[in-house]
Amino acid sequence: MEILGTTLRICVDDLESAVDFYERLTGAPAQRFERGGVAVAAVSSFLLMSGPESELEVLRKVAATLSVDDVDAAFTALTEAGAKILAGPVPTPVGRNLIAVHPDGSVFEYVDRRS
């Protein structure tokens, strides 16, 4: 499995102010969507999330989002290496994802851009 890139996950109180800052910082426009009551804006390598604390509490446990070319291949590689899959693979607005716990306890989201 090749990791194509990483996205930093940031929970914010004021999504609009955060989007403005990160768009100005990176020069990239935000891609927005909502998932499970959480408003999300992807700006370059930053994933900004805002919503109810009960939802953000769960999201804060994920250390980072890792882009891969194929979530199914990631699923196989992760399980063979000893990771536990918590969720997925499931469709997202831009592809698919899964959440995995590595043997050291770290939690990561793996995403692809396939439909």
Residue 115 predicted with pLDDT over 70: no
The predicted structure's pLDDT at residue 94: 77
pLDDT digits (tens, 9 = 90+) for 48-96: 999 999 899 988 999 999 999 999 999 999 999 999 999 989 998 778 9
3-state secondary structure 1-58: CCEEEEEEEEECCCHHHHHHHHHHHHCCCCEEEEECCEEEEEECCEEEEECCHHHHHH
Residue 36 has pLDDT above 90, yes or no: no
What are the beta bridge partners of residue 49?
A: 11, 40
pLDDT score, position 58: 85
Q: Which residues contact 42 (CB under 8 A, 6 or more apart)?
A: 7, 30, 31, 32, 48
Q: Report the candidate in 84, 87, 115 with the shortest Cα–Cα distance to residue 101.
A: 84
Cβ neighbors of 83 (< 8 A, separation 6 or more) are: 100, 101, 102, 103
**52, two tokens:** 């109810």
Question: So what's the pLDDT on residue 70?
Answer: 94
